[in-house]
Amino acid sequence: MVTKQKILIVDDDNNIAELISLYLTKECFDTLIVNDGESALESLKTFEPNLILLDLMLPGIDGYEVCRSVRANSNIPIIMLSAKGEIFDKVLGLELGADDYMEKPFDSKELVARVKAVLRRYKQVPTAIEPVDNTKKVEYTDLVINLTNYSVLYMGKVVEMPPKELELLYFLASSPNQVFTREQLLDQIWGYEYIGDTRTVDVHIKRLREKINDHAEWGLATVWGIGYKFETKSRG
């Protein structure tokens, strides 16, 4: 018997939460509803969800703080839900580690589609990289990006990162020294979801640079006014 994937719904509006739960239950997900940030953090251990749908405006601990706390210990996928549609709010959510951001009101079919899309991309990062034939990976000195098992080995250590960050790094590193515009990267990595929101790329590049420093032989380079590239450097 296939184990159902579990979705933690965090929203202080119980009517909205119940409606989301109904949509997801019809798609064979198990759901749990909590109405505040503190309960959300407690439920991580007891419910062990595969994904969190997180409202921002919560009593007590707000959604941003919940996201920050989750990211301190886990790479579990997070989709933020909010009536706030400003670019600042989206960027802040992404900087804190959210994998997606949806504005209220949202279409139920789109919500379910995004949940499924994020879950498809997400896999636990293994504690070690095992050699596997026919893997999709790129290798440089002190850096191995493996798209098959969603792992990154940097300076001999496994680096944990959400799926979108890894996919962006892999895409750039697969075409060294080729410049990509933000729009091209959005289309390749995010598809329809974030077309027009080019700051999404900037946020993810920033997070990658925080985890992986430029090497003497390679690095993530900004091409001002255009976009980004994975630059390989001569050894002089």
Fold of 137-232: Arc Repressor Mutant, subunit A (1.10.10)
- Residue of higher predicted confidence among 236 and 123: 123
pLDDT at 205: 93
- Token pair 């293994």: residue: 126
Alpha-carbon span 50 to 167, nearest angstrom: 20
**What does the longest C-alpha to C-alpha distance in the chain come to?**
64
Nearest alpha carbon to residue 198 among 178, 219, 228: 228
| Average pLDDT over every residue of 141-162 | 90
- State the chain's mean pLDDT as an integer: 85
Domain ranges of the chain: 6-121, 137-232
CATH architecture of the domain formed by 6-121: 3-Layer(aba) Sandwich (3.40)
Indicate the range of 65-79, 119-133, 145-159 predicted with least confidence: 119-133
pLDDT surpassing 80 at residue 97? yes
- What pLDDT does residue 197 have? 67
**What percentage of the chain has pLDDT greater than the value 70?**
89
Q: Within 13 Å and on the Cβ side, how many CA atoms surround 174?
A: 13
| pLDDT class of 85 with cuts at 50, 70, 90 | low
In this prediction, residues 191-212 reach a mean pLDDT of: 78
How far apart, in Å, are the Cα atoms of 36 and each of 44, 60, 74, 100, 119? 13, 7, 19, 20, 24
For CA atoms 114, 118, 119, 120, give the dihedral sign.
positive
1-54 tens-digit pLDDT: 457 899 999 999 999 999 999 999 999 999 999 999 999 999 998 999 999 999
How many angstroms separate the CA atoms of 172 and 45, rounded? Answer: 36
Torsions phi, psi for 59 (to 5 deg): -70, 145
The answer to whether residue 129 scores a pLDDT higher than 60 is: no
